[in-house]
Structure 1
Amino acid sequence: MSPTDTDALANDLLAYIDASPTPYHAVRETARRLEQAGYRALDERESWSLEPGARVYVTRGDTSIAAFQLGTSPVDRAGFRLVGAHTDSPNLRLKPHAELTRNGYRQLGVEVYGGVLLHTWTDRDLSLAGRVVVMEGGKGGKGGVPRSHLVDFRKPLLRVPNLAIHLNRAVNTDGLKLNPQDHMVPVLGLEHADATDLRAMLVNELARGGVKTEAANILGFDLCLYDLQPSTRSGARSEFLHAPRLDNLASCHAGLSALLSAPDSREATSGLILFDHEEVGSRSAQGAASPFLRSLLERITLAHSDGKPDAFHRAMAQSFLVSADMAHAVHPNYPSLHEPKHQPQMGAGPVIKSNVNQSYATDGESWAYFATLCRSAGVTPQHFVTRTDLGCGSTIGPISAGQLGIRTVDVGNPMLSMHSIREMACASDVAAMVAVLRRLYA
């Protein structure tokens, strides 16, 4: 792969991330790219008619999306080749009754979503984005239909100010200790009698997007804080990527890029599934612990197989899932926290993640399968195992494998600053992962 291709994919990843400040926007951006490539949307509420070669996608809850290109062979003969990732990242999210005033300041109450590195959210230019549900239609305050619209203020609105060292003299020796309820409440403005409230702000932002409504018509919202600083590259040779939400939009982008660039004619059915709520356990209607993926695979099997009662089970037995979620690179300042013989390097390719207690779904067979894909793509894989005396995070891999009984491997590109508001990865690893996943789909 030429340096030009490598740079183009790395820069495209940064553009994808900047277009996706929330899972809602990540799904919209993914759908936009799929439609540009000829994919059409399916509705779960309708019957499906699918022909070989069909390119389709399905969304659920506005935050999960799955895309499929049907193969030339029925799925009960050729199976599925799947890549799974997740659209959500740790962040701060508004409470339903968010507005409050304290000591002359207007603030917005937030909940902590997932395993946030809280201190990285202080002293940042923060904005708001997400989904607003509005009652539309009807007359005289009666009737109407709730509809969802995405908003993104795209300007500095909020800040979580740090405490001056003069008032916290031991911060550099004892560490910064933050109580999420008391210390992570962002400042919106100064208290004034004529201050614009949150719903009025949302009305104005909706109008900017072409949706005219009134504050009384706003029924609900799901709003996330995000760092307004654009993604960028750094390093002596621009080899590093600095961006929010690399975990796990980088894997979403890799799977999507591979799906869209794989050969048009494929024997097996190719699929990409991007779940929400991985960072909080996947227990939701659109998370990996839901029937979402199984339902889609069953329906595709019904439409693209010999119709025998055991077609779905035969399809699963011939299928493979790559669970793609970012991996821990060895930290140069904390090497002792890594398993001595399993220390992934940034810029050295995809990482196969293993855990005998099934925090990862990798076993010897799925490891070998992915290693074979790497070899065919001219890529050498790395390996990650958590130190035996440390706990291990998990992924959608074991959950999906348990739901489907499908062979699964857990992999990811190496990164630093995981769960920070700004994370760090390597530009060359982007193209390497895409190349391997493209071989899965070939």
Structure 2
Amino acid sequence: MDVVDTQTESFNKQLAEFINGSPTPFHAVANMTILLREAGFQSLSESEEWTVKQGEKYFVTRNGSSIIAFVAGSEDLAESGIRMAGAHTDSPCLMVKPQPEMLNNNYFQLGVEVYGGALLNPWFDRDLSLAGRLVYSDVSGQLKQKLINFDEAIAIIPSLAIHLDRTANNDRTINAQTDIPPILMQADKKADFRELLGGRFLAEGEKVLDYELCFYDVQGAATVGLNKEFFAAARLDNLLSCFVATQALINADTSCTSVLVCNDHEEVGSVSSVGADGPFLASVVDRLCNDLCSDAGASNKARVLDGSLLISCDNAHAVHPNFAAKHEVGHTPVLNGGPVIKVNSNQRYATNGVTASLFRQLCAEVDVPVQSFVTRTDLGCGSTIGPVTAAKLGIPTLDVGIPQLAMHSCRELTGTLDPERLSRVLTAFFNRPGRLQVAVSDNS
């Protein structure tokens, strides 16, 4: 393995701070806006007219949980196309139900709903906190919202002792309704959860009306391994890609138009107003075409997208040394082996031979190794925002990701070298001049 240099250590330290401070998609987007503002990006509102100027940098959010940032390039958009990177802000978790209060044997618990395809076993015996968004009315009755974070361990889901379940190590299954409600405290009577939230986070006279809150593991990101070659953290899928792509966009020059899109709701299918299957990105692309194409015309958008490329960044399955047979032979990505091109002929990933070749070329230009993944034919394959976005926009797309272990656990693992490597590749991608096309062969 290559030696971890000072630049990589600094990158991973910033990555750890970002992940630790982003327990929910709302917090992730808020922290991304801070990074972008500090780098000179200007805030836009969807409800207002835009005047996008070449050479300037902008961002716009929707619902506080999805964000699109872009550099308005100096080149004519119809001639240069768009360099686009995508990721998602959400991760599998335990969401608090609307009327969650439970009192069992003098234990106050909250009912939770499993969000996404969470691996549930690792949630037991962890120190859990709670974060998300509150909607409340102030003393005048006006509706407002705010992000909250208990920022300390307030709950736990204890395992059932082996003495009471002798088959636990052989065939125990988890009932998501009855087995995972977290314990918050001991109590003689059922508390009102909204009142608890108001007492903790609101001023007198303000009232909690609703919320979107999830539990998270308070253990922070850490570098582990005898040689410090591993990076462990919650929500690596997919906050790692959000941070990596944000840093790449910040480091991009202003000659080409570059776009970063980070959608919410990928883990549950992307079908929402803020998801990849919604209209958010298409509306921003329309506005860019109107402002950055020199000639007005309905054909401009088609010309722009024909010369564009989307790199969908979502982590990939590294080979697990204890379960190597779960991987297709010859497609066993390893941690610190470089970013992974993800392929699926059934279009669960959007990669094709042309888009994969462009990415391989980019990696070679910045001296970054590249790996490939395809799932075993007898196993199902996950998906990403890549195929959804490709279908919505008609943009050439490929799916890539940093290899990781323990995907969808409440604590995941990747290599220390790969995050900075992918950011370097994406920066080169954003700065690559000319239309992103492969010449058509003459087959006559």
Report the TM-score, using the length of structure 2 for normalisation. 0.94
Q: Deviations over 1:63-112 (max 9, x none)?
A: 00000010001211211101000000000000000111112111100000
Look up the SS of the partner of 2:277 in the other structure: coil
- CA-atom RMSD, angstroms? 1.3
Q: How does 1:61-100 map to 2 (within 5 A)?
A: 61-100=63-102
Distance in 2 separating the partners of 1:379 and 1:62:
34
User: Does 2:369 match 1:369?
Assistant: no
Distance in 1 separating the partners of 2:139 and 2:49:
28
Superposition misfits of 4+ residues, deviation over 4 angstroms: none
| Equivalent residue number for residue 141 of structure 1 | none
Tell me if structure 1 keeps the 8 A contact 2:101–2:191. Answer: no
Distance in 2 separating the partners of 1:356 and 1:145:
52
Instruction: Report the identity percentage.
Output: 44
The AA in structure 2 aligned to 1:280 is V
| 1:323 equivalent among 284, 307, 312 | 312
Q: Deviations over 1:332-374 (max 9, x none)?
A: 0000000011000101100000000000000000000111110
| Equivalent residue number for residue 145 of structure 2 | 148
User: Does 2:414 match 1:425?
Assistant: yes
Q: Deviations over 1:208-254 (max 9, x none)?
A: xxxx2546x21110001000111111001111111000000011111
| Equivalent residue number for residue 323 of structure 2 | 334
Distance in 1 separating the partners of 2:219 and 2:192:
25
| 1:249 equivalent among 220, 234, 239 | 239
| 1:105–1:321 Cα change, 3 Å | same
The AA in structure 2 aligned to 1:71 is G
| 1:184 equivalent among 172, 175, 180 | 180
| Equivalent residue number for residue 221 of structure 1 | 211
Tell me if structure 2 keeps the 8 A contact 1:417–1:424. Answer: yes
| Equivalent residue number for residue 272 of structure 1 | 260
Cα deviation, residue 198, structure 1 = 2.0
Distance in 1 separating the partners of 2:231 and 2:200:
31
| Equivalent residue number for residue 158 of structure 1 | 155
Cα deviation, residue 258, structure 1 = 0.6
Distance in 2 separating the partners of 1:313 and 1:434:
28
| Equivalent residue number for residue 295 of structure 1 | 283
| Deviates further, 287-296 or 8-17 | 8-17
| Equivalent residue number for residue 167 of structure 2 | 170
The AA in structure 2 aligned to 1:239 is E
Q: Deviations over 1:130-155 (max 9, x none)?
A: 000012352xxxxx331110000011
| Equivalent residue number for residue 102 of structure 1 | 104
Report the TM-score, using the length of structure 1 for normalisation. 0.95
Look up the SS of the partner of 2:85 in the other structure: strand
Look up the SS of the partner of 2:33 in the other structure: helix
Distance in 2 separating the partners of 1:148 and 1:239:
41
Q: How does 1:342-353 map to 2 (within 5 A)?
A: 342-353=331-342
Look up the SS of the partner of 2:16 in the other structure: helix
Tell me if structure 2 keeps the 8 A contact 1:25–1:130. Answer: yes
| 1:285 equivalent among 273, 285, 305 | 273
Tell me if structure 2 keeps the 8 A contact 1:130–1:150. Answer: yes
Q: How does 1:31-70 map to 2 (within 5 A)?
A: 31-70=33-72
| Equivalent residue number for residue 441 of structure 2 | none
Q: How does 1:186-205 map to 2 (within 5 A)?
A: 186-193=182-189, 197-205=192-200
Distance in 2 separating the partners of 1:90 and 1:52:
38
Q: How does 1:392-407 map to 2 (within 5 A)?
A: 392-407=381-396
Segments of structure 1 that go 5 or more residues without pairing to the other structure are: 139-143
Look up the SS of the partner of 2:237 in the other structure: helix
Distance in 2 separating the partners of 1:317 and 1:52:
21
Distance in 2 separating the partners of 1:75 and 1:219:
45
Look up the SS of the partner of 1:358 in the other structure: coil
Tell me if structure 2 keeps the 8 A contact 1:151–1:205. Answer: no
User: Does 2:339 match 1:354?
Assistant: no
Look up the SS of the partner of 2:331 in the other structure: coil
User: Does 2:221 match 1:231?
Assistant: yes
Segments of structure 2 that go 5 or more residues without pairing to the other structure are: 432-444
| 1:240 equivalent among 230, 233, 246 | 230
Tell me if structure 1 keeps the 8 A contact 2:337–2:371. Answer: yes
| Equivalent residue number for residue 124 of structure 1 | 126
User: Does 2:194 match 1:206?
Assistant: no
The total of aligned residue pairs comes to 428
Cα deviation, residue 433, structure 1 = 0.5
Cα deviation, residue 205, structure 1 = 3.2
Cα deviation, residue 196, structure 1 = 5.7
Tell me if structure 2 keeps the 8 A contact 1:122–1:161. Answer: yes
Tell me if structure 1 keeps the 8 A contact 2:109–2:181. Answer: yes
Cα deviation, residue 303, structure 1 = 1.3
